Chain A
Amino acid sequence: METEAVIENIAKKFISDTVAFDLVKSRRGIITIRHTALTAIAEYLYRSEGYRFIIASALHTRRGFEIYYHFSLDTSGLILSLHVILDKEKPRIESLSNMFSASNWIEREMHELFGIDFLHHPNQEKLISDGNWAEGVYPYRKEFK
């Protein structure tokens, strides 16, 4: 089945960077990777395999700050999501926006909502927060006891 083949291929190429296969089913796959490997794997998907970046979903859980980077392989309808878990105190990860423009806004938005730092982002300025909430406030962060 195609998704399995795709995931196997990536696992082989990036063997030391794949942490887990969270989901493998028809047209949907989620791989947890080391966050240091994001740029390399994303580049492989985008440049070598022709995936399209859909969006990134950030969430705040007990494990830390997690991001799913969703990529679409339009020829097969596959959505492949790269899942990273970032540090609880200082969540940061390399920006993808130097590779393509599609992630520019969502990284700014994740920065405003969660306080995640996207390193080397071309213009990590406000997108939606101006006038809506104060500096240093990250409204989508949760309180964990």
Chain B
Amino acid sequence: MGFKDYCFRKSLWVFHFGGASCNNCDIEILDCLTPRHDLERFGILLVGSIRHADVLLVNGSINTRDKDRLIELYRQAPKPILVVAIGACGCTGGIFAESITFAGPVDAIIPVDAYIPGCPPKPEAIIAGIVKLAGKK
């Protein structure tokens, strides 16, 4: 088993970063924790520090002010880390891509391993995306 596979063998700890977002995605991510979807049954936990995370979830169209933070966050993340771009804004900038302060999308700033499109993606889609990603690795 390779090093990466070894790291992701067990439950995934997830850290969430929201860029310039309308928060629909943030709320749907939080929704994954609630009784109907219950992310934790997969052993997936939201953590408070990037240093504990296996997965970095990024949503929102990143504006110039967020960009530096995102880079710094990625730098601090323990490698290997899986990056997931969530939502139309995370994947391509969505409807805000023409904004004067747009500095993204996410994959223009940091490498992305998976994209979960939607506006916002349903919790089922988010969970499916993360589980699929974990399975692939």
Q: Which residues of A contact B (CB under 8 A)?
A: 130-133, 139
Contact = CB atoms under 8 A, between A and B. Distances in A.
Nearest to B63: A132
B65 A131 contact: yes
Contacts of A133: 64, 100-101
Interface residues of B, number: 6
Nearest to B68: A131
A132 B100 CA distance: 9
Contacts of B101: 132-133
Interface of B: 63-65, 68, 100-101
A-side binding surface: helix, strand, loop or mixed?
loop
B64 A131 contact: yes
Contacts of B63: 132
Contacts of A132: 63-65, 101
Nearest to B103: A132
Given A131-B68, A132-B63, A139-B100, 9 more contacts: A130-B65, A131-B64, A131-B65, A132-B64, A132-B65, A132-B101, A133-B64, A133-B100, A133-B101
A139 B68 CA distance: 21
B31 to A, nearest CB: 29
Contacts of B68: 131
A133 B103 CA distance: 12
A80 to B, nearest CB: 31
B100 to A, nearest CB: 6
Which among B63, B64, B65 has the highest number of chain A CB atoms within 10 Å? B65
A55 B90 CA distance: 31
